[in-house]
Homo-oligomer: A and B are copies of this chain.
Amino acid sequence: MDLPADVFDILRALDLASVVVFAITGALVASRKQMDIVGFLWLGVVTGVGGGTVRDLLLGAPVFWVVDATPLALCMGAAAIEHFSAHLVASRYRILLYLDAFGMALVTTVGTAKALDMGAGPLVAVCMGVITAAVGGILRDLLGQEPSILLRRDIYVTAAASGSIALLVADGVGVPRLAATGIAIGFGFGLRAMAIRFDLFLPVFKPRPGRMPGHRGEVK
C-alpha cells in the first residue's frame, strides 16, 4: 500500500494482531469441543489465516504465511497458550467480541487494498475484503462442526462489506490512502460494534407456509 513507512509498520502489526484474535476465536471452538492440543492448533491456524489464504489463492498471489511464517507462528502460539487457559479467554469473551470486530474491520480493509493494488476491479476487491474477514470463521465452523456463521444473523459480513465499500469510495474520490484506511476501519468496526452492543440483525427470508418444497427431491 502507498503509505508512509511507519504507518505501514503499524498497520502490519495490527494485521498480525487481528490474525491472532481470529486464532483465539478458533481455539475457543476447539475448547468447547474438548479437542486435544492438535485440534487447538488446527482451528487456531485455519481461523487465523484461512481468510487471507483463500484471498491470496483467488488473486493468484503467493500465500502470505508461506512467504513469511510470522502469522503462522503467532496463531500456533496463541492456540497453544489457549489450550492451557481457555477458561480465561472464555470468561472475557465480550472483550474478545470487540477485539474480533476490530480485527475484522482491519483485515477487510487490508484485504481490499491488496486486491486493488493487484489490479482487481471494485466488486472483486470488496469480495476479497469480505473473504479475508469471513472465510476463516466459515472454515472454523465447518471444521469444528458448529452451526455456520452463515446461519447466524448477526451483522458481520455486512459490516465487513461496508468497510470495504467505504475504502473504495474514499479511494475513488481522492482521499489519501492513509485517511481512507482509517475511514474504512471506522465504518467496519463501527457497524459491527453497534450490532454487538444493540443486538442488531438483518431481516430474514420468511417462507410462506406450504409453499416451499420439502427436502426430498430437492434441486441437485
Digitize A204-217: 1 where CB-to-B-CB distance is under 8 Å, 0 elsewhere: 11111001110100
Are the CB atoms of B42 and A53 closer together than 8 Å?
A: no
A153 to B, closest residue via Cβ:
B36
A114 to chain B, nearest CB (A): 13
Please tell me which stretch of A23-31, A105-113, A183-191 contacts chain B, meaning at least 4 of its Cβ atoms lie within 8 angstroms of it.
A23-31
Are the CB atoms of B158 and A72 closer together than 8 Å?
A: no
Are the CB atoms of B201 and A150 closer together than 8 Å?
A: no
> For this complex, into which size category does the number of interface residues on chain A fall?
35 or more
Among residues 116 to 174 in chain A, which have CB atoms less than 8 Å away from a CB atom of chain B?
A: 120-121, 123-124, 127, 137-138, 140, 142-151, 153, 156-158, 161
Are the CB atoms of B36 and A201 closer together than 8 Å?
A: yes
With a cutoff of 8 Å between Cβ atoms, the chain B residues found around residue A5 in the complex are none
Interface on A for B, CB 8 Å cutoff? 25, 28, 30-40, 42-43, 45, 53, 57-60, 62-63, 65-66, 69, 72-73, 83, 86-87, 90-91, 93, 96-97, 100, 120-121, 123-124, 127, 137-138, 140, 142-151, 153, 156-158, 161, 201-208, 211-213, 215, 218-220
